[in-house]
Amino acid sequence: MADCIFCRIAAGDIPATIVGRTEDAVAFRDLNPQAPVHILVIPTRHITTMFDADTDLAEVAVGQCIRLAVQVAKREGLEPGGYRLVINTAKDGGQSVFHVHVHLLGGRAMAWPPG
Ligand code: 5GP
Ligand code: ZN
């Protein structure tokens, strides 16, 4: 989608610090980090929210995002300490960018319940 900021990052049209890439997923550092490690992992192809993710194509793309997030977490030294993966979905989920993304958060202990 031409007016989607994360599609443009995936295409290389907007700069981002890319830390990993597969055929269907891209990982890059969050612009406004909420933890020492805060990386976003997105499907290369546009998916607006997780409400659109119950298709065979999205299953593969979101699965690749999770797999890439785990690989990046290891590379970032988050094993064995741990980390958190978050997918904010739509209004009540706190989603602000409407291209599905997995937040990889680590480098500090996470609180629960989340805000
Ligand atoms: P959401 O609130 O949708 O779950 O998360 C969106 C995330 O995208 C936020 O953490 C925000 O800091 C990040 N973000 C928004 N615009 C950009 C951008 O242009 N580049 C990068 N690297 N991160 C962005
Ligand atoms: Zn997009």
Mean pLDDT per block of 10 residues along the chain (115 residues) reads 95 97 97 98 98 97 98 98 98 98 98 93
Tell me, what's the pLDDT at 2? 84
Task: Give pLDDT, residue 46.
Answer: 98
Residues with CB under 5 A from ligand 2 (ion): 1, 4, 6-7, 46, 99
At residue 1, the pLDDT reads 85
Give the pair of three-digit tokens for residue 87.
């997918």
Instruction: Establish whether the linkage from the previous residue to 113 is cis, with ω within 30° of 0.
Output: yes
> How far apart (Å, rounded) are the C-alpha atoms in residues 96 and 78?
26
Fold adopted by 5-106: HIT family, subunit A (3.30.428)
Token pair listed for 100: 């599905």
Determine whether the shortest distance from the Cβ of 88 to ligand 1 is under 6 A.
yes
Tell me the torsion sign for CA atoms 72, 75, 77, 80.
positive
Classify burial at 10, counting beta carbons within 10 Å of its beta carbon; exposed 0-12, middle 13-18, buried 19 or more.
Answer: buried
Cβ–ligand 1 contact at 30 (below 6 Å) = yes
Catalytic residues: 101
Single pTM value for the model: 0.98
